[in-house]
Amino acid sequence: MSAVPGVVPSRRPGPLRVSGFVAVLVAVSWALGAFSAWPWTVTAPGSARLRISLRHVTGFHADVRTRSAEELAKLPAHMRPKDASVPVTGRRADAVLSVRVDGRPALTRTYRPTGLRRNGPVYAYEELALAPGRHVVGLTLTDAGSGRAWPLDTAIEFAPGRAPLVEFVAGAGWHSD
């Protein structure tokens, strides 16, 4: 109790204010529900896409060398290569991907090998927007060092809202959905 009455006013909210508080929180709960699942158009309805994924190990084309007998001797037995004449290090060549859709060029891009010394595999992922329907897709992956190429020509049905995948895996070549 106040030693001197009337100095500090009461702060107890009346029932009308409590009702206002409940109304505010009902509005906030509606907003939580609405904005936690408000739709966003990521891709246009009815569109289609070609997805291309590749992982490829190109050949060495610079700073190539084999290990000397002394170097091989220093390596633990399980790390010694079966064929010592195969180069083990150097800079790998770039890879070039070219894509044609229905005979028309759609994409040509060069990818550098990964790693600080550019001695790792090449990774790439591309998406191309296409009109729904059947398309003849031609892909060629070329090793820029050796000139060796891996072509694929295939007809793919692009249903609306679908994104078929064409994938190149080192050693296994191209395959599509």
In the complex, the residues that contact another protein under the rule CB under 8 A are 1-9, 11-14, 17-18, 20-26, 28-30, 32-43, 45, 47-49, 51, 53, 55, 114-115, 120-121, 123-125, 161-165, 167, 177
- The residue (of 23 and 131) whose beta carbon lies closer to another protein is 23
Q: How would you write 103-135 as a 3-class SS string?
A: CEEEEEEEECCCCCCCCCCEEEEEEEEECCEEE
- The residue (of 53 and 66) whose beta carbon lies closer to another protein is 53
- How many C-beta atoms lie closer than 10 Å to residue 163's C-beta? 17
Closest CA to 55 of 140, 116, 98, 113: 113
* Strand, coil or helix: 12: coil
- The residue (of 6 and 103) whose beta carbon lies closer to another protein is 6
Closest contact distance (angstroms) between CB of 88 and another protein is 18
Closest contact distance (angstroms) between CB of 100 and another protein is 21
